[in-house]
Amino acid sequence: MLRLRSSVDATRAPHFGAALRDLDGVRRVVEQPDAVLADSTVFVADVEPAAADELVDAIAELGIDADDYLLTRVDVVAPLHRHSTGDRGIDGFAWVEVMGQARANSRPLARYLALINVAAVIAALGVITSSSILIVGAMAVSPDLLPICATCVGIVARRRTLAVRSFATLTIGLTAVVVTAAVLSWLLKVTGFLPDGFRVEDSGLETLAHTDYSTVLIAAAAGVAAMLSFETRASAAVGVAISVTTIPASAYLGVAIGAGGIDNAGGAGVVLAINVALLIVFGTLTLMVQRWLPNRSGAPV
């Protein structure tokens, strides 16, 4: 369920109130004087996710500034949640919310760069020591799920700038993993922590540089899971599963470049490219289906 809170001046308040009451999916509209602005009225209403896009369009048509309203998601304890299709619903897909998340995650912010480099260090050490625990830890830290999903949103919404910016952020992140892993493994080698004859294939994770049917199936399933988690705000939990297709291969590539085993670098690069492509393709297809289903049920897209 979404919650609308808005402060509207006296001239627009009657029209705004009428618009809220006329919109299907907007309920429990509360109207009261603004305690701070004497000539304004505060509106509070519950909004079903399927009606969010229509509501935002109506607000824009009335000329209400973006700073004068807030649309947030709230957790509903009772009654029991209805399904998001058919009889509409209090849970479900709100396109305006997904677009907002995509815009927020489309830029290489400092936190994103910090986390991706931390993941690179952990993953590189996992490759060098053949530690699956460290690899899983790196996947848990990595934020690469966010720009992947933002890229899919940009493609489905036909927002070229959003898609390109998000993909660039993803590329910067994965490149940082390769570079950080390469520099770290090279430093370990020149300082003597790695033997002179070390080669990355000796780490026991050589499967990261080979492609087979499982590579395709895992990446395809991860793409579907990525988009579903992005829509339902479960990305923190599912991000580990998504990063299994990106972070290990990136770190393996970096270690191969920095510490030896350059012959395997090409294979790891191919695995990484295939995984990223499949993540975006299947994430995009999942989002397209998600937009199509509400339309089939009669809800607006």
**Hey, which of 78-82, 87-91, 166-170, 264-268 has the most confident mean pLDDT?**
166-170
The pLDDT tens digits for 141-164 are: 888 888 999 999 999 999 999 999
Q: Provide the 10 A C-beta neighbour count for residue 188.
A: 18
Instruction: Kindly indicate the confidence band of residue 87, based on its pLDDT and cuts at 50, 70 and 90.
Output: very low
Please state the length of the chain.
301
Average pLDDT over residues 102-113: 91
Residue 179 confidence (pLDDT): 96
The per-residue pLDDT for range 160-180, each reduced to its tens digit, is 999 999 999 999 999 999 999
User: 11-15, 36-40, 54-58: which has the minimum mean pLDDT?
Assistant: 36-40
Whole-number pLDDT of residue 164: 96
Q: How far apart are CA 286 and CA 110, in angstroms?
A: 29
- Cα-flanking dihedrals φ and ψ of residue 40, to 5°? -125, 160
pLDDT of the residue at 1:
84
Strand 40-47 relative to strand 2-9, pairing:
antiparallel
pLDDT of the residue at 296: 45
Query: What residue has token string 């300082």?
Result: 191
Q: Poorest-confidence range of 18-27, 50-59, 88-97?
A: 88-97
82 pLDDT higher than 60: no
250 is written with which tokens? 């990136």
The vertex-81 CA angle with 76 and 84, nearest 5°, equals 115
What pLDDT shows up at residue 233?
61
Residue-averaged pLDDT of the chain:
84
Unique residue bearing structure tokens 């808005």: 6
Rounded to 10°, the helix 160-190/145-156 angle is: 160
Least reliable range by pLDDT among 39-48, 74-83, 286-295: 74-83
